[in-house]
Every structure is written in C-alpha cells, then in structure tokens.
Amino acid sequence: MKRKWNWPIWVGFVLAVAGLFSYEFFAQFPITRDFPWANFLLFGIGGALLIAGLFRAFGRPQVYRGKIFGSIFAAIAVLLVAFFSYVIFYVLHQVPASAGAPHVGQKAPDFLLLDQNGKPVGLGDLLRGPSGPPKAVALIFYRGFW
C-alpha cells in the first residue's frame, strides 16, 4: 500500500528555511528588527510541524512517509536555527566599544569631506547652514553600501 504524504514535515521545513531568509525583509522594520521575534515565530511553528510530522512518521510508519527525510529535514532545521541565533546574538554584536567617541558636552571634532556631488562640506558649513544656522546637526555614521 502506498503510504501517505506527510505534509507537516514539508511545511515545517519550508517555514524553518523562511525563518532564516526572511530576516532581510523583517530587518527593514524596527519592530521586527531589534528583536527578530517574527523569525523565531516562523522557526517555532516550523519546528512544531516538523515534530508533529516525525511523530506520525515514526508512530505510524505503515501509514505515513518521512522517517528518513523527516529526520534529515529536522536536523537541517536545527542547524538553520543555530546559525541564525549565532548571527543575531553574536556576529551582529561584534561592534567596537568606541570609548573615545565624543561625549555629550564635548565639542564635535571638525571635518571637511566631499558630498555626493564632489563638493567639500565642513562641519562649520553645516553649523552655519545655507539659510542661517540650524538648530542642530545630526551626524549619522553608517557602514556604507560600498
């Protein structure tokens, strides 16, 4: 007799893979970026389905398929979650301490840099402004797109 398709294993595995690769999407929104709960939700649902599928495969092997590939998928899913956690909780936190960065109350170091049109812009220019001095200047250092 042909055994039945064990869908929870497949759906669970797809959700686990989606949990890993969807961070690029979720990272656009602060609420799902600062803590990746949406990704862990996907991992959680995927893991529950994988476990349910494995129970079917091992509990009623004459009815459901998936003892071998279900185990392989589950092992891969565990590795995906481990890799994701490593990146989120370790790699992303490898930021220098920047103890020597200007503190509140200090004068910001001067600079003169080229803008996107090749025009030199200094801190003094920014503080003077094109139409009178601005109230404040926000300097945003970013990693860049290279």
Partner 1 sequence: MRSFQHRLSEFDARGVRVVGISVDPPDVNKRHSQKLGYTFPLLSDPDAKVIRRYDVLHPGAGPKGADIARPAEFLLDSDGIVRWVNLTDNIAVRARPEQVLEALNQFSSAGQ
Taking alpha carbons only, the member of 24, 36, 16 closest to residue 81 is 16
Residues within window 12-41 making contact with partner 1, judged by CB under 8 A? 27-28, 30, 33-34
Determine which helix (DSSP H) or strand (DSSP E) holds 112, and give its type and residue range.
strand 112-114
Min dist CB 42 to partner 1, Å, is 18
State the DSSP string of 58-79. Answer: HHSTTTB--HHHHHHHHHHHHH
Q: Is the distance from CB of 65 to CB of 5 less than 8 angstroms? A: yes
Residue 99 to residues 96, 104, 115, 120: CA-CA distances in angstroms? 8, 13, 27, 29
Among 1, 2, 62, 114, binds partner 1 (CB under 8 A): 114
Nearer to partner 1, 30 or 59 (CB): 30
- 92 touches partner 1 by CB under 8 A: yes
Min dist CB 97 to partner 1, Å, is 8
Residue 25 and residue 41: Cα distance in Å, rounded? 15
Min dist CB 99 to partner 1, Å, is 7
- 107 touches partner 1 by CB under 8 A: yes
Contacts with partner 1 by CB under 8 A lie at 27-28, 30, 33-34, 92-111, 113-118, 121, 123, 126-127, 129, 133-146
